[in-house]
Structure 1
Amino acid sequence: MKKVNFQSYKAILLLGGIAFFASCSDDVNTIGTDIIGDGNFETERVEFEVYAYNRNLTGVQTNGLPLYQLGVYNDPIYGRSEASIVSQLSLTNTRPVFGASTQQREDEYANDNDPKTTPENETVTKVYLNIPFFGNVADGETENNDSGTPVARKYDLDSIYGSKTAEFHFKVEELTYYLRDLDPSSGFQEQQEYFSDKDFSSNTGMVLRDTIVKISNLEELIYKEDDPDTPDEDESQEVETRLSPRIRVELEPAYFQQILDKEGSSELMSNNNFKEFIKGLRFSASGFSDDALMLLDWNNANVEVEYEYDRVDTANDNKIIKGSSSFTLSLAAFSTDASSGARTRRNNVANRIINEPYPAEIDEQLDNGANASRLYLKGGAGTVAELRLFDPKGSSEVLDGYKKRGWIINEANLTFYVDREKLDAYPEVREPSRIYVYNMDNDSIIADVELDYTVNQDKDLSRQIYGGILKKEDDKGISYKIRLTEHVDRILNKNSTNVRLGLTLTANINNTRNISARGNVQDSVLVAPEASVITPLSTVLYGNNVGEEDKDKRLKLEIFYTEVE
């Protein structure tokens, strides 16, 4: 035990308080309330039990995600997962005018026989689906080679798990199921939730594309059309548009013709009407040459519709000639305001994520009510761990004995050790770089996450005080440390509820949104972090109930505190 003179401690605290006040003045008063009068301080370290239970997620909410998964991921420990997508479409402009005239003006031709109002007979010619990957232009890549000829630049794709050159069978189908916005069971007051276990495969109509696609890290180059009026130039060799790597395929034009045929009708007056008329599309992938799971930039995905129409050439004796134009349908789940960051819903998009049965040694450890020796964490519609600090479920005996002791909580940590024996048996395992603890009882985040002001746009550099970052030795994961200092202080000194904590993976520490989840245990409500659903990775950690040989890796709550004598 170490004793600290109060006057010295007060000077140190004052300097620290000035620095802390610059970032968060409200919390200085909170800390200061525990320092009263003269005397000596004693600093101590104490350990408490952490009871951990493995929970299986049978489904997670997937509408409203920031990105969507398509393909196959073969986890060497947990097994195979497959992901497909259903998505609504929306008009980028409601009440669209196709061609040069409104439908009303075209209809007037029947009465006035004015050539300027000749029916335009709009006809779809080409339809392209665009679903971008995430990535950036690789270093050193240029738009032209040494001779000046355009070249497709290479990208570093950071959103594909598995093979980045795999071929697969890609299928796009008409969706016949209406994805409503509001839940009728709530009296249409709450958002309708669509879960990962919902199967839409029987709610399909016309096949719009059925083809083989190969993943590529090269740009898509769209060339200009050659202008016949410039015989000395070949514009077809000039690049008009450079598209980042993506899934880009043609779709069946006949399906989209029905949109042009509804020009001026109520079906195109609003997106609500349009989504009842065109319910959406279903996307699936199978027959992979090598396993690959693609995390797709869905909020920049769209459908481009090109069409021709008849128009009057008034400079050439009112001759009817062909004009051309295009319009875009958005697939985006939401749009984000650049200034406020607020999200506005555009389309309902949902992932179906299906896991094959887990190996028996994992399955028997899920939802068995036992304080676990190993914690099985898997992203997607996978698994989480439920944590209870101080006491097991239904008890507060230990906690009640330590409340209101007046401890100044200097630091409180949870350290999770990686089961290297398990992971080393599967050297191809890709370890998650970060884990995350969240409030499992309600839709709120842990105070230590909220108060960590080391927020950075780079998710790997953000909230480093809170932690959860994988510590490595010899390029292998050893442990994760999470700081829960403020959370523990509020429990011990401010009578906050000792809520259930959830432990999971996170693909983005800056995304703290929780979503609904379903589990096998019916007596409790589950939530899951959105950022855990969008990663397919997994790991195995030591729990609390370990054998003597692993006691140095046992999960525990470690508290450093100062006590006034």
Structure 2
Amino acid sequence: MLKKFIRRGAVLGSFALIISGVISCEKDFTDVNTSVIRNNEFTTNDTLLEVIITEKPVTSVRADGIQLGALGQYLLGSYNNPHYEKIEASIVSQLQISSAFKVVDREYGADTTVVTQIDTVYLKLPYQATLQTDGTYELDSIIGDTEKAFNLNIYQNTTFLNVLDPSDPSVFNQFQSDAIYQTLPTELNAISNFQYIPRAGDTMMVVSRKLNTGSIYDKDTIKLTNSLPFGRVPLKADLLKQILLDRYQTDDFASQEAFDDYFRGIVLEASEGTDPGSLISFSFNTGLIEYNPSIEVYYTNTVLVSGVAVDTIKKNDSFRLFGVRNSLYNMTTNNPTPAGNFQIQGTAGTHADIALFGPDTDGNGLPDQMEELRAKNWLINDAQLTFYVNQNIVGFDTIATPFRLFLYKNGESLGLPPALIKDALPETSAAFGGVLELTDEKKPDKYTFRITDYISDILSGATNYSPPLTLKVANPTDFPTTATDTIIDSYNWNPKGVMLLNHLLTNGDRRVQLKISYSEKTTN
């Protein structure tokens, strides 16, 4: 009987995106515009344009690392903030084997028997952590209540994880965050619904080494380099021996390809416990292999000659979580968004569309307000969109609040892919903005985007393409590396969320508006 594992939805290289310089709302004009103003041939003014915000839930995002080569961060755990969607994040991964895997390393005579005793088997999950001056670690990249546990179960996946698209092997495969996997019904973890709590003090563990009789003959202390803290989940020793060690000398371990067909990976299934727990970001691409998540198998070989023990050999095999990996985001809607607000949440949470120039009442394909502004022949000096945080809801929380948001063109209604705004291209991105700005009291306040080139091209008539702009939680994959890298992928492993004030007049000066500074020729 198969157990169906289904997760349906409604990534920042890590959570710790650094808050860079805040973009001011009152920057100087460019040199060319300043010279025009100095010649007194132009007058300079600014205007505020009303916009319309539409909150938009996200069904799923791409959650594999196949095309990227390696997806940096994977989320595990449960986070439930009542203002946003609850996230239960799970991980699917293949395992990496080694050609050196052998239970017994040498040949013995006919009078010699080797008995293998499993000492311990566990899932190792190294944390991202910062070493403090007192020699202790502080865990990074975690949101939620780290004192509360989430449920964790580990299953053997039976769905083949193919790198290439089965329907078209000439292209790479893709896995969404709401993909469906089949698993065997029996958990691999020794304790069902394992209560997982991340702890910075988990820097070592003791492995009891056992003889063939089951008696302990030695103990090993296991630490990672620099005593980095790591989580561990005990697994069923006898079951893992049967699935893995007992198959070493078979065709199932003849190659990585053969193994991937025999053992198709594991599913780390997280769910909410009795109380809301925490959500942890794990890195699968660290500099040291031992810092990568893995299944660790410790065992002892007792060598018997004519039934008498003459030697004990300690062994450890490591199965790194490697190959095709995918994140699963199970999103559950909580309380509705309060009137006058809209929420932005990463992963498969919530985006928002921003309509800038109102309706097209005459049906000529151009918004009426855009046509009116074009007729004015303004020279656009600066254009800014500012989104204000609902401080009554967010308060002083800078941990679960995104450090950066991202803005892009959404051509979905026209059948076009999501694309970068011109101002976000590498040569102009330094001033693009979107970084969280704080008040003097260190309270989250606002996000400001400068979209000067985008607005200038529209109002000058250089382009008529003006789809809604979409606001989302920023992900490292959003930012281009070249001028031709203009398509926005849906990857997002940043689970943070923020409540923002929308365009309604009841929000006063903190409502969303487009501020345009411009110059126009002086009339004699």
Cα gap change, 1:96 to 1:430, in 2 (>3 Å):
closer
Alignment of 1:191-206 (within 5 A): 191-198=172-179, 200=181, 203-206=183-186
**Offset of 1:412 from its aligned partner?**
1.2
Cα gap change, 1:116 to 1:450, in 2 (>3 Å):
farther
Cα displacement string for residues 19-75 of structure 1 (whole angstroms, at most 9, x for unaligned residues): xxxxxxxxxxxxxxxx9xx99344332333433211111222322343222222221
Cα gap change, 1:254 to 1:178, in 2 (>3 Å):
farther
Q: 1:349 aligns to what?
A: 326
Instruction: State how far apart, in whole Å, the 2-side matches of 1:564 and 1:116 are.
Output: 101
Quick one: which amino acid aligns to residue 354 of structure 1? Answer: M
Work out whether 1:382 is the aligned partner of 2:349: yes
Instruction: State how far apart, in whole Å, the 2-side matches of 1:174 and 1:248 are.
Output: 18
Work out whether 1:140 is the aligned partner of 2:140: no
Cα displacement string for residues 231-268 of structure 1 (whole angstroms, at most 9, x for unaligned residues): xxxx9798764542232123223343333344354433
**Offset of 1:491 from its aligned partner?**
3.2
Q: 1:479 aligns with which of 446, 449, 454?
A: 446
Quick one: which amino acid aligns to residue 58 of structure 1? Answer: T
Cα displacement string for residues 443-462 of structure 1 (whole angstroms, at most 9, x for unaligned residues): 543332333678xxxxxxxx
Alignment of 1:113-262 (within 5 A): 115=109, 124-141=118-135, 154-185=136-167, 187-198=168-179, 200=181, 203-209=183-189, 210=191, 211-222=194-205, 241=224, 243-257=227-241, 258-262=243-247
**Offset of 1:331 from its aligned partner?**
1.3
Work out whether 1:530 is the aligned partner of 2:491: yes
Q: Percent identity?
A: 23
The answer to whether the 8 Å contact 1:122/1:260 transfers is: no
Q: 1:435 aligns to what?
A: 405
Cα gap change, 1:219 to 1:126, in 2 (>3 Å):
closer
Q: 1:512 aligns to what?
A: 478
Secondary structure in 2 aligned to 1:433? coil
Cα gap change, 1:182 to 1:220, in 2 (>3 Å):
same
Cα gap change, 1:361 to 1:57, in 2 (>3 Å):
same
Instruction: State how far apart, in whole Å, the 2-side matches of 1:416 and 1:427 are.
Output: 17
Where structure 1 has 5 or more consecutive residues not aligned to the other structure, the ranges are: 1-8, 17-34, 107-113, 142-153, 227-234, 314-318, 333-345, 366-372, 455-462, 515-525
The answer to whether the 8 Å contact 1:183/1:191 transfers is: yes
Q: 1:291 aligns to what?
A: 277
Work out whether 1:59 is the aligned partner of 2:49: no
Cα displacement string for residues 311-340 of structure 1 (whole angstroms, at most 9, x for unaligned residues): 799xxxxx97443333322214xxxxxxxx
Where structure 2 has 5 or more consecutive residues not aligned to the other structure, the ranges are: 1-28, 66-70, 210-217, 286-291, 412-416, 481-486
Secondary structure in 2 aligned to 1:331? strand
Instruction: State how far apart, in whole Å, the 1-side matches of 2:431 and 2:138 are.
Output: 26
Cα gap change, 1:255 to 1:487, in 2 (>3 Å):
farther
Q: 1:557 aligns to what?
A: 514
Instruction: State how far apart, in whole Å, the 2-side matches of 1:321 and 1:236 are.
Output: 16
Cα gap change, 1:269 to 1:439, in 2 (>3 Å):
farther
- Number of residue pairs the alignment of both structures matches: 451
Cα displacement string for residues 119-148 of structure 1 (whole angstroms, at most 9, x for unaligned residues): 97766543231112222112222xxxxxxx
Q: 2:3 aligns to what?
A: none
Cα gap change, 1:190 to 1:53, in 2 (>3 Å):
farther
Instruction: State how far apart, in whole Å, the 2-side matches of 1:129 and 1:246 are.
Output: 10
More helix as a share of residues: 1
Secondary structure in 2 aligned to 1:489? helix
Instruction: State how far apart, in whole Å, the 2-side matches of 1:513 and 1:444 are.
Output: 11
Cα gap change, 1:495 to 1:308, in 2 (>3 Å):
same
Q: CA RMSD, aligned part only? A: 4.3
Instruction: State how far apart, in whole Å, the 1-side matches of 2:381 and 2:166 are.
Output: 49
**Offset of 1:437 from its aligned partner?**
1.0
**Offset of 1:395 from its aligned partner?**
4.2
Cα gap change, 1:409 to 1:264, in 2 (>3 Å):
farther
Q: 1:325 aligns to what?
A: 315
Cα gap change, 1:239 to 1:58, in 2 (>3 Å):
closer
Instruction: State how far apart, in whole Å, the 2-side matches of 1:168 and 1:376 are.
Output: 25
Q: 2:466 aligns to what?
A: 498
The answer to whether the 8 Å contact 2:387/2:448 transfers is: yes
**Offset of 1:413 from its aligned partner?**
0.5
Quick one: which amino acid aligns to residue 126 of structure 2? Answer: P
Instruction: State how far apart, in whole Å, the 2-side matches of 1:72 and 1:212 are.
Output: 12
Quick one: which amino acid aligns to residue 378 of structure 1? Answer: Q
The answer to whether the 8 Å contact 1:378/1:504 transfers is: yes
Secondary structure in 2 aligned to 1:538? strand
Quick one: which amino acid aligns to residue 560 of structure 1? Answer: S
Quick one: which amino acid aligns to residue 82 of structure 1? Answer: E
The answer to whether the 8 Å contact 2:48/2:514 transfers is: yes
Instruction: State how far apart, in whole Å, the 1-side matches of 2:74 and 2:477 are.
Output: 15
Instruction: State how far apart, in whole Å, the 1-side matches of 2:53 and 2:459 are.
Output: 20
Cα displacement string for residues 346-381 of structure 1 (whole angstroms, at most 9, x for unaligned residues): 2222223221x333456xx8xxxxxxx532222232
Cα displacement string for residues 537-562 of structure 1 (whole angstroms, at most 9, x for unaligned residues): 2313222xx13x43423322222233
**Offset of 1:492 from its aligned partner?**
3.6
Instruction: State how far apart, in whole Å, the 1-side matches of 2:221 and 2:93 are.
Output: 34
The answer to whether the 8 Å contact 1:414/1:558 transfers is: yes
The answer to whether the 8 Å contact 2:358/2:367 transfers is: yes
**Structure possessing the higher radius of gyration over alpha carbons:** 1
Instruction: State how far apart, in whole Å, the 1-side matches of 2:326 and 2:349 are.
Output: 20
Q: 1:24 aligns to what?
A: none
Cα gap change, 1:405 to 1:540, in 2 (>3 Å):
closer
Q: 2:14 aligns to what?
A: none
The answer to whether the 8 Å contact 2:73/2:281 transfers is: yes
